[in-house]
Structure 1
Amino acid sequence: MRALLNVIWLVLSGIWLALAYAVAGIVCCILVITIPFGIASFRIAAYALWPFGRTVTERRSAGIPSLLGNIVWFLVAGWWIALTHAVTGILLCLTIVGIPLGIGNFKLVPVALLPLGRRIVST
């Protein structure tokens, strides 16, 4: 079932989300000071390609730099990216066909809100 959901997700929205996060990662890596945000964007892009069967966990060893980076990310981009995923998820859940895609968008909210100090693992 996960494979079917991932294929539907990939065809209908996953490829576009992954491309957008990858472009954001490239832009962030161009500037030296934003490389950690670029790496986080690449991590989110990989998760956006294949979200079903995977989950986001917290890295206990992340420390203060991840906390400070998450604060900057939240203020600059995180809140509106997470809000976009949440609103899109709600709108997709209005139709029966869109419910799996809405769930996929809801799974992206926590990692889009605070991506540093997180890791994506298989369930």
Structure 2
Amino acid sequence: MPLFSFLLNVLWVLTGGIWMALGWAIAALLMALSIIGLPWARSAMTIARYTLLPFGQTAVRRDEYRGRGDLGTSGLGFLGNILWFVFAGWWLALGHLFAAVGLAITIIGLPFAWAHLKLAMLALWPIGTEIVSVDALDQRRAWGRP
């Protein structure tokens, strides 16, 4: 991880990023307890790790990144996203939105507010996305891959 991303991630955790990561972990736990929600639980834990250290990583559509579709990018993924939105997505997105508004009040908080807004969008529709490092994405683009 580059030094700048590391510093931003440290500031992110200190300014409250840990609480939203905890929110994602709680959503994962609740989904896992239902047993039916196990696929969503795994995805929520992946995004919890991303929420804990968002700088230096990005969320991309999995079918565009890998060059092929899968279950999460198909019609079942669409249905899964609707179920996710109803049971967990809206309140996680609302938490990110409130955090973004609070951080946007200060100039120093603007990069963190922007990160919360991106995470709020991800919270609404997470299935079919993959978290990758920015470096890996840049390498793929340099090789002519999306």
Alignment TM-score, normalising by the size of structure 1:
0.88
Alignment of 1:73-84 (within 5 A): 73-84=84-95
Counterpart of 1:50 in structure 2 is 53
- What stretches of structure 1 move > 4 A for 4+ residues in a row? none
Identical-pair percentage: 41
| TM-fit CA distance, 1:19 | 2.0
| Residues 57-72 of structure 1: pairs in structure 2 closer than 5 A | 57-60=60-63, 61=69, 62-72=73-83
Unpaired runs of 5+ residues, structure 1, are none
The one-letter amino acid paired with 2:11 is I
Cα distance in 2 for partners of 1:91, 1:27 equals 27
Unaligned runs of 5+ in 2: 64-68, 135-146
Instruction: State the shift of 1:107 in Å.
Output: 2.2
Query: 1:98 maps to what in 2?
Result: 109
Indicate whether 1:32 and 2:39 are aligned: no
Q: What is the alpha-carbon distance in structure 1 between the residues aligned to residue 87 and residue 31 of structure 2?
A: 13
Q: Please give the root-mean-square deviation of Cα atoms over the aligned residues, in Å.
A: 1.6
- 1:14 deviation in Å? 2.1
Q: Is the 8 A contact 1:51 1:107 kept in 2?
A: no
Could you say which structure has the greater relative contact order, defined with CA pairs below 8 angstroms and 6 or more residues apart?
A: 1
Q: Secondary structure at the residue paired with 2:36? A: helix
Offset of residue 105 of structure 1: 0.7
Letter in 2 for 1:87: F
Of residues 20, 25, 34, the one that matches 2:23 is 20
Check 1:76–1:27 CA distance in 2 against 1; reply closer, same or farther (3 A cut): closer
Q: Are the equivalent residues in 2 in contact too, given 1:82–1:112 (CA < 8 A)?
A: yes
| Count, aligned residues | 123
Per the alignment, do residues 30 and 79 of structure 1 end up closer, same or farther by CA in structure 2, a change over 3 Å counting? closer
